[in-house]
Amino acid sequence: MRDGSAAVVSAKVLIPHVNSLARERVDSLLNRIWQYRVGLVVAPAGSGKSTLLAGFAAAADVPVAWYRAESWDAKTVTLLDHLRSAFAAALGPIPDAWDSVETAAHALEPWGGRRALLVIDDLHTLEDSPAELTLERLIDYAPPGITFLIGSRALPGFNLSRLRVSGSLLEIGSEDLRFRSWEVERLFRDFYREPLPPEELAELARRTEGWAAGLQLFHLATSGKSALERRRILTALGSRSRLTREYLTRNVLDQLPAELRWFLVRTCVMTRLTGSICDAFLDRSGSQQLLQELERRQIFTTATDDRGGYRYHEVLRSHLEQVLMEELGEIQARTAYRRAGSLLEQSGALPEAVQAYSRGEDWEAVDRLLNHQGGELLEGPGTWIDALPPALLRQDPWLMLGSARRHRAEGRWREAIEAYQRAEHVFGSSDAGLICASERKSLAGWLEPAPMPGNDWAGLLRKAV
């Protein structure tokens, strides 16, 4: 054994066996890899990266070398020893003594095949290490018939702009891996063999935002349970689910530097974040850089626009809210929500402000915004309605309309019609009341047979089908 080398761990160079739902949409993206030198799959923990890579590697009709990186592989010699072992398993006997990028590239040159694939999973564990720099050089030096496919929770420190400009980089991100609503339906119907009602599917897709681990954790928690118990677990998903909390604590929060963890927990009271709002809320500076770092690390942080706006994944944010409550206590947490609501209102983020005020139980502020900005609030996303108490939902006509639209979007059409009717009754003959009546009648056309479809969008669609 050479000085500084380490024993190769055989399990790290074997393609893992996976059993998963075939997703043609994602597979078609990855099948384009042969047009590129490097494929990069970057997404947060639990997004299905390893499953995707393992499934692709197992089905490939070319030789595949597999290597799963770990943090103690940071030395160049350790990386090269594992890569040599991986290539030997895929290509057959190759020269030993891979003590540099040059000797590794030279050892691969005699291979006479047309195409081969090297898959490297968990590259983020080698961040800022000599091994990461070595891999970047190997991409440049290896024979052109070798394609590199990399999975990571964060963008590597490669010169990615050069790869992009040269057309050598295929990028697949968290949005590509997110389960769409019809994929969630197929997952539970065809793979788990436990189909869910349409309204539960819609709520599960919304609460998890298609996060693969969240869907699997929900399945594990509900398998064999009654419909009532399944519904209770669905309602608690993200905030009180033990499995979700354990997963996010171990795989996300515990791996962060203290400053980033503190920032995440303290700012979870806001569903819309910018550097300036976070600076004002925390009475500090540098928040924009921290938000950018969270996005770079793929810590469930997504840019919402090109003006510096961000949001946290809803499952993570719900978990962080529970952590905040445990660390600050109920009274201080409520104060934090109210302060966040004020800052969000000042910035014009009204739906987000209503949600923060509601979490802080500042009902006077909620009532003020609804009375003066009800119509404008309904133009934004409807998730803030979840934060309101049921009694308030039954009293305010704007909330009734928002609730009706929410039911409609999630497939609960009869509940939507009932909410529309309640809102109509309170709005009366005002413009808002006429809007309620029009939307209710369009929806009712799908549920109640009519002698002749109307000429609105619903009626025209009924004629077509």
Average pLDDT on 186-211 reads 90
- Where is pLDDT greater, at 19 or 376? 19
The answer to whether residue 372 is domain-embedded is: no
Is residue 117 pLDDT above 90, yes or no? yes
The answer to whether residue 215 is domain-embedded is: yes
Average pLDDT on 103-107 reads 94
The answer to whether residue 361 is domain-embedded is: no
Model pLDDT, residue 81: 94
Is residue 446 pLDDT above 60, yes or no? yes
Model pLDDT, residue 3: 52
Average pLDDT on 294-298 reads 88
- Where is pLDDT greater, at 134 or 234? 134
Contacts of 210 (CB under 8 A, 6+ apart): 178, 179, 180, 183, 184
Is residue 236 pLDDT above 90, yes or no? no
How would you write the chain as a 3-class SS string?
CCCCCCCCCHHHHCCCCCCCCCCHHHHHHHHHHHHCCEEEEECCCCCCHHHHHHHHHHHCCCCEEEEECCHHHCCHHHHHHHHHHHHHHHHCCCCCCCCCHHHHHHHHCCCCCCCEEEEEECHHHHCCCHHHHHHHHHHHHCCCCEEEEEEECCCCCCCHHHHHHCCCEEEECHHHHCCCHHHHHHHHHHHCCCCCCHHHHHHHHHHHCCCHHHHHHHHHHHCCCCHHHHHHHHHHCCCCCHHHHHHHHHHCHHHCCHHHHHHHHHHCCCCCECHHHHHHHHCCCCHHHHHHHHHHCCCCEEECCCCCCEEECHHHHHHHHHHHHHHHCHHHHHHHHHHHHHHHHHCCCHHHHHHHHHHCCCHHHHHHHHHHHHHHHHCCCCHHHHHCCHHHHCCCHHHHHHHHHHHHHCCCHHHHHHHHHHHHHHHCCCHHHHHHHHHHHHHHHHHCCCCCCCCCHHHHHHHHC
Indicate the residue among 218, 237, 256 that finishes a domain: 237
Is residue 111 pLDDT above 80, yes or no? yes
The answer to whether residue 440 is domain-embedded is: yes
Q: What percent of the chain has pLDDT over 90?
A: 47
Model pLDDT, residue 410: 74
Residue from 127, 124, 159, 126 nearest 38 by CA: 159
- Where is pLDDT greater, at 231 or 118? 118
Residues 124, 18 share a domain: yes
Cα–Cα distance measured from residue 164 to residue 26, given in angstroms and rounded to the nearest whole number: 21
Cα–Cα distance measured from residue 77 to residue 130, given in angstroms and rounded to the nearest whole number: 9
Residues 408, 423 share a domain: yes
Q: Is 146 exposed, middle or buried (0-12, 13-18, 19+ CB in 10 A)?
A: buried
Say what the alpha-carbon torsion angle 43, 47, 50, 52 is, to the nearest 10 degrees: -100
> Which domain covers residue 450, as residue numbers?
391-465
Least confident span in 59-63, 242-246, 273-277, 374-378: 374-378
Residues 188, 86 share a domain: no
Choose from 103-107, 358-362, 383-387 the range with maximum mean pLDDT.
Answer: 103-107
Model pLDDT, residue 464: 47
pLDDT digits (tens, 9 = 90+) for 36-57: 999 999 999 889 999 999 999 9
| Summary mean pLDDT of the chain | 85
The answer to whether residue 366 is domain-embedded is: no
The answer to whether residue 350 is domain-embedded is: no
Residues 128, 233 share a domain: no
Model pLDDT, residue 408: 81
Given the structure tokens 């009204």, which residue do they identify? Answer: 350
CATH number, domain with residue 21: 3.40.50.300
The answer to whether residue 316 is domain-embedded is: no
Indicate the residue among 148, 177, 206 that finishes a domain: 177
Residues 126, 66 share a domain: yes
Model pLDDT, residue 394: 64
Residues 185, 173 share a domain: no
Cα–Cα distance measured from residue 102 to residue 112, given in angstroms and rounded to the nearest whole number: 19
How many domains, in total, are found in the chain?
A: 3
Say what the alpha-carbon torsion angle 182, 188, 192, 194 is, to the nearest 10 degrees: -150
Indicate the residue among 160, 177, 194 that finishes a domain: 177
Model pLDDT, residue 247: 83
pLDDT digits (tens, 9 = 90+) for 319-355: 898 899 889 998 999 899 999 999 999 998 888 888 8
Is residue 250 pLDDT above 90, yes or no? no
Residues 39, 160 share a domain: yes
Ramachandran region of residue 329, left (φ > 0), alpha (ψ -120 to 50) or beta?
Answer: left
Residues 165, 48 share a domain: yes
Cα–Cα distance measured from residue 316 to residue 273, given in angstroms and rounded to the nearest whole number: 15
Token pair, residue 333, equals 């947490």
Contact 435, 402 (CB under 8 A): no
Residues 117, 154 share a domain: yes
Is residue 409 pLDDT above 60, yes or no? yes
Cα–Cα distance measured from residue 365 to residue 379, given in angstroms and rounded to the nearest whole number: 19
The answer to whether residue 251 is domain-embedded is: no
Is residue 1 pLDDT above 50, yes or no? no
Residues 171, 205 share a domain: no
Residue from 125, 165, 126 nearest 37 by CA: 165
Residues 156, 194 share a domain: no
Is residue 431 pLDDT above 60, yes or no? yes
Ramachandran region of residue 178, left (φ > 0), alpha (ψ -120 to 50) or beta?
Answer: beta
pLDDT digits (tens, 9 = 90+) for 137-163: 999 999 999 999 999 999 999 999 999
Model pLDDT, residue 461: 47
Residue from 356, 360, 331, 366 nearest 273 by CA: 356
Model pLDDT, residue 325: 87
Residues 225, 160 share a domain: no
Average pLDDT on 221-237 reads 83
Model pLDDT, residue 399: 67
